[in-house]
Amino acid sequence: MRRIPLERLAFPSDPKRRLELAAFFTVLAIAAGARLVEATRVPTWFDEIFTIWVARLGPAGIVQFLRADVHPPLHEILVWMWSRLGGESDFWLRSLSVIFGVATVAATYGIARDLFGRAPALLAALLLALHRTHVYYSQEVRSYALLWLLDLLAIWSAWRFTRGGGRGAMIGYVAAATAALYTHYQSALLLASVAAWGLITLRSSPRRLTSWIAIHLAVAVLFLPQLPTLIHQMATHQGAHWAGRPQFADLVSLARAYAFGVSLVIVPALALALLPIVRRGERGAATLLWSATLPLIAISYVLSQHDAHLFTERYMEFALPAWCVLLAAGAIGLRWSAVAAAVSIGLAVIAALSLSRHEPLEEPRELHIAQQDLSRRAAPGDVVICADTHSLLFFMHHAPGLARYRLLELDPRLPYYEALGMVPDSAMITAPEFRSLRKSGARWWGVRTHHVGFDSRPGADTLGSYATSIRHLGPLVTVIDGQPQ
């Protein structure tokens, strides 16, 4: 076995290197702290609860259940494994995404150091650590934090391979790319863009070009077991989606999200991110980041105009790590060092201020208020009738013994994204059954959560027509005090 010299294991003696390491671990601590705080602000909500309930099915059950959904199974399997280690508390389950999020900050530092140098690497990692959008999604019990990490690792491995990397870069790319495909099908477009970039970059090196093609064939072979499920999902849910056709306003909203939520920062931030591509020494690295991310956003937007349903803001925020790298490279590379320092500090301050002002997610906050309200007034024998599955899953998950829960079924053709497969038949109540419930003299309450994709107003109107009072807890959640007939 090859022995590693002890001096390589020791803390570096170079003061600059020690300072860099201290700064790097400080950034990681900031990233972890911000995400852990975010994880405690509100309870898990509909999307997260759906993930948790699917994960309860175990690996075989997850694979089978998701055939009726639109997602591959890797993230849910990892959540199942994580729950087996520490249970199902909100904080514990969210900590898995926190790990993925902090790992993405570390990987951002790594790829930025390889592409642009140490100073841009530290700034890029800090910007991502403080970016309020990444902070949120890297604590949510969903697949985004894992997907964005895997996407970044695939891009990084592609760069290392085209710059002479050997077996490690090849294995890293195949592993990251395959895992990304088993996490979210969106990654196929990103990998296609990276593959095209590699073909162009390696066109004058036949041997490495052949290896590059072989790498992608390996990824395709490893994805083959999931292909029948993907075909079944596409055939089953063709045309069904919770989001409509994107508009220009959606592009503006996406740009604002990348610019730390500050509209005035959009144009100067874009200018900074474009600077590396016009600098001769940075052009190759910047081309990789832009070609790996921008085509996916553009193609998704165009295809979604024809009902492909690929473009939603949360899907398109996958490029945040690459964006922070480009921002950092653009700022650090400014001609005058004093200006570069001022711009870099300014970006970090904007990111920090934006994060400090970021409000918690509205839906679980309001539903938690509704839960507290009903816990004071409802009895175990009462019936809480929900006009939508968002309300139903929240109450069944967070307050299972509070009352008897029912979903008012006015349209039996609820789409797959309403998690109908997770609602037991015993929890469904039709309009005639609701009328019978009222006639029986049972005490009931109604809850409605307004959300994108499904119109729950008919159910809310039906419940509201028999209400003694209707209280709006905010823009999303309504609590209805019912009355027996």
Residues 212 and 177 in one domain: yes
Residue 283 pLDDT more than 50? yes
Output phi, psi for 404, to 5 deg.
Answer: -90, 130
For residue 415, CA distances in Å to 69, 166, 217, 412 come to 10, 47, 35, 9
119-128, 385-394, 448-457: least confident range: 448-457
Of 356, 387, 415, the one marking the end of a domain is 356
Of 356, 390, 405, the one marking the end of a domain is 356
Work out the widest C-alpha separation in the chain, in whole angstroms.
83
32-36, 50-54, 248-252: least confident range: 248-252
30-44, 383-397, 457-471: least confident range: 457-471
Mean pLDDT of 127-155: 98
Mean pLDDT of 65-74: 93
- Residues of the chain with pLDDT > 70, as a percent, come to 95
Considering the domain boundaries, does residue 272 fall inside one? yes
Q: What is the pLDDT of residue 304?
A: 84
Residues 444 and 319 in one domain: no
Round the average pLDDT of the chain to a whole number and report it.
Answer: 92
Output phi, psi for 429, to 5 deg.
Answer: -140, 125
Residues 312 and 186 in one domain: yes
The residues, any chain, with a CB within 8 Å of residue 468's CB and separated by 6 or more, are 481, 482, 483
Considering the domain boundaries, does residue 2 fall inside one? no
Considering the domain boundaries, does residue 41 fall inside one? yes
Residues 112 and 160 in one domain: yes
Residue 7 pLDDT more than 70? no
Considering the domain boundaries, does residue 180 fall inside one? yes
Its pTM stands at 0.94
Q: Give tens-digit pLDDT for 256-281.
A: 999 999 999 999 999 999 999 999 99
Q: What is the pLDDT of residue 13?
A: 65
Q: Give tens-digit pLDDT for 186-217.
A: 999 999 999 999 999 999 999 999 999 999 99
Report the distance separating Cα 155 and Cα 190, nearest Å: 9
Specify the length of the chain in residues. 485
Residues 372 and 340 in one domain: no
Residues 333 and 233 in one domain: yes
Residues 333 and 391 in one domain: no
Considering the domain boundaries, does residue 257 fall inside one? yes
Considering the domain boundaries, does residue 5 fall inside one? no
Q: What is the pLDDT of residue 241?
A: 63
Considering the domain boundaries, does residue 1 fall inside one? no
Residues 327 and 124 sit within 8 Å (Cβ to Cβ): yes
Considering the domain boundaries, does residue 374 fall inside one? yes
Among residues 159, 305, 177, which one has the least CA distance to residue 243? 305
Domain tally, the chain: 2
In terms of Cβ atoms closer than 10 Å to its own Cβ (0-12, 13-18, 19+), residue 427 is middle
Q: What is the DSSP letter of 358?
A: P
Report the distance separating Cα 25 and Cα 31, nearest Å: 10
Q: Give tens-digit pLDDT for 218-254.
A: 999 999 999 999 999 888 876 566 667 888 999 999 9
Residues 166 and 315 in one domain: yes
Q: What is the pLDDT of residue 1?
A: 40
Report the distance separating Cα 365 and Cα 384, nearest Å: 19
Residues 470 and 331 in one domain: no
Of 356, 386, 405, the one marking the end of a domain is 356
Residues 106 and 229 in one domain: yes
Helix, strand, coil shares, percent, the chain, to 5: 70, 5, 25
Q: What is the pLDDT of residue 412?
A: 62
- Residues of the chain with pLDDT > 90, as a percent, come to 76
DSSP 3-state assignment of 278?
helix
Q: What angle do CA 203, 208, 210 make, to 5 degrees?
A: 85
Domain of 377, in residue numbers? 362-482
Handedness of CA 274, 278, 281, 285 (dihedral sign): positive
Q: What is the pLDDT of residue 115?
A: 97
Residue 2 pLDDT more than 50? no
Q: What is the pLDDT of residue 424?
A: 87
Q: Give tens-digit pLDDT for 411-423.
A: 666 777 788 788 8
Residue 157 pLDDT more than 70? yes
Q: What is the pLDDT of residue 467?
A: 87
Residues 372 and 239 in one domain: no
Residues 63 and 197 in one domain: yes
